[in-house]
Amino acid sequence: MVIAMAVGKREILLVAMAYYLFLLVSAGKGGGGAEADRIIKLPGQPKVSFKHYSGYVTVNKEAGRALFYWLTEAVSLPESKPLVIWFNGGPGCSSIAYGASEEIGPFRIKKKGTGLYLNKFSWNTVANLLFLESPAGVGFSYTNTSSDFYTSGDTRTAKDALEFVIRWLDRFPHYKQREIYLTGESFAGHYVPQLVKEIMTYNSRTKFPINLKGIMVGNAVIDTYYDNLGTVDYWLSHALISDETYKQILNKCDLHKLEDDSNECNATSKYAEKEQGNIDIYNIYGPTCGDSTATSTPHNHRIQRFPHRSFSVFINNKIKQISGYDPCTENYAEIYYNRPDVQKALHANTTQISYNWTSCNEILFKNWTDRAYSILPIYKEMIAAGLRIWVFSGDADGVVPVTATKYSLAQLNLTTKTPWYPWYLNNQVGGWTEIYEGLTFATVRGAGHEVPSTRPKEGFQLIKSFLRGAPLPPK
């Protein structure tokens, strides 16, 4: 009996050692099959100490759907740092254009798309970053079934994203034991929790669960009614609309609807836009892009509030940059990622898609087939599962504003652990935060919809505190 037990333990030890050696070998080679995705150097890229990879993962062979990713490993000791997966929203907008290139990635794009320069507040100093263009049809991600452009929605996006994570981890097996965190902004307020739900279901059925530890989302779409109500309340409280227009919106528009196409609501919404004037509603105190040669309209299709609104205005004047923020950066992305030499270096557009790479796919945006009314039920499931959950909000965003997020989260009726207090960075108030049982909420003072773009130092503090599981620093 004792001998049999000893043999059993020895066999288990040998298997464990063999698997460990396999992981080491895989890591040295960039993972199973991953070396082919290794990026040698991007055009105009400065010298870096970290490795980065990009390519495609097929998520549905029958339809021919494949999602494009870009992994930028941590600057130092990547093997000891977690994996952070980032999603942008829209629906239909690119995580390469926004998250990677103007928010949390290691590179920024030079004007006119001539090359890259380093972002000193890149999140890959504390984590390995995986940017995913999701769903198929966004950015370089593609489908061989044209009808997919008109039938995308929350449900299929979440299922394809789960398939991506499973298959990507097979390609990079040395990440299978890492802590994994899902992050993003805007409509990623749907993408991230819905993927979490898929992962939790998958983990309950497999012997090899995905090591998901938590989520962090910013200016996130959460609940239709409270998001809409919080938005118009923000417009009024920040003097963006008149009292009369505020009353008209409440009377003429059904805030319970995802989209109110009635003539009365359309007219009122257009008048509200007129009252707001030539501002970037995504960053109400920031400059607008005055680039008359722009190839796209920034922010125009990132998220749908009231119908037919255009959330950015071009004015032909000199660009005024505030604290290093450049409102035209996505125009540079449109140029850079359409360069053939860039696509070749990224292993992108290998199927020669028939359209140019764009920051946002308007067809997907306009034809989103299913959209959850509220994500709050999934928040309750995530809290019950013990995941680390942070929600943050740039308080200068007029599209998914801080009031919308507060109204939505209030419906969870969570118990307060640490009451509202100001958090500090370099002896200045970075924002305010409150810690609940199961969730941390934080604001970022003066930040727009893209917090890491408009307030990069504060955004970097968010990810550092989040990954440590520590409260944001008081004074």
- For every residue of 284-308, DSSP letters joined together read TTSPPP--TT-SS-TTTTS--SSTT
Spatial contact of 148 and 60, defined as CB atoms under 8 Å apart: no
Q: How far apart are CA 465 and CA 440, in angstroms?
A: 11
Q: Is the residue at 122 inside a domain?
A: no
Unique residue bearing structure tokens 């557009």: 349
Nearest CA among 75, 87, 174 for reference residue 126? 75
Q: Which one of the listed residues 152, 449, 453, 465 is annotated catalytic?
A: 449
Q: Is the residue at 64 inside a domain?
A: no
Nearest CA among 161, 167, 115, 113 for reference residue 141? 161
Q: Which one of the listed residues 94, 186, 408, 453 is annotated catalytic?
A: 186
16-20: Cβ within 8 A, 24+ apart? none
Same domain, residue pair 311 and 396: no
Same domain, residue pair 400 and 320: no
> Active site includes 449?
yes
Q: Which one of the listed residues 269, 326, 397, 453 is annotated catalytic?
A: 397
Q: What is the CATH classification number for the domain harbouring 452?
A: 3.40.50.11320
For residue 261, the model assigns a pLDDT of: 83
What distance lies between CA 84 and its chain's CA centroid? 11
Structure tokens at 62: 């029958």
Q: Is the residue at 301 inside a domain?
A: yes
Q: Is the residue at 25 inside a domain?
A: yes
DSSP 181: E
Q: How far apart are CA 332 and CA 432, in angstroms?
A: 33
In the beta sheet, which residues pair with residue 360? 93
Angle between helices 154-171 and 188-203 (to 10 degrees): 60
For residue 355, the model assigns a pLDDT of: 87
Q: How far apart are CA 39 and CA 451, in angstroms?
A: 28
Q: Is the residue at 307 inside a domain?
A: yes
Same domain, residue pair 229 and 318: yes
Note the pLDDT tens digit of each residue in 28-44.
344 447 899 999 999 99
SS3 of 278, please? Answer: coil
Burial of 354 (0-12, 13-18, 19+ CB in 10 A): exposed
Q: How far apart are CA 288 and CA 180, in angstroms?
A: 36
Nearest CA among 192, 194, 191 for reference residue 180? 192
DSSP 144: S
- The residue range of the domain holding 9 is 1-30
Unique residue bearing structure tokens 């308007």: 362
> Active site includes 301?
no
Number of domains forming the structure of the chain: 3
In the beta sheet, which residues pair with residue 58? 66
Note the pLDDT tens digit of each residue in 226-239.
999 999 999 999 99
Please give the angle made by the CA atoms of 38, 39 and 43, to the nearest 5 degrees: 170
For residue 317, the model assigns a pLDDT of: 26
Same domain, residue pair 238 and 318: yes
Q: Is the residue at 98 inside a domain?
A: no
CA 115 to each of CA 140, 332, 345, 358: distance values in angstroms, whole numbers, following the listed order:
19, 10, 13, 18
Check: pTM over 0.85? Answer yes or no.
Answer: yes
Considering all CA atoms of the chain, what is the largest pairwise distance in Å, rounded to the nearest integer? 85
Q: Which residues contact 128 (CB under 8 A, 6 or more apart)?
A: 71, 72, 73, 74, 78, 81, 82, 83, 84, 175, 178
Q: Is the residue at 442 inside a domain?
A: yes
Q: Is the residue at 453 inside a domain?
A: yes
Q: Which residues contact 441 (CB under 8 A, 6 or more apart)?
A: 390, 391, 392, 393, 405, 406, 409, 433, 434, 435
Can you list the residues of the chain whose pLDDT is less than 70? 1-32, 291-325
Nearest CA among 109, 67, 69, 86 for reference residue 334? 109
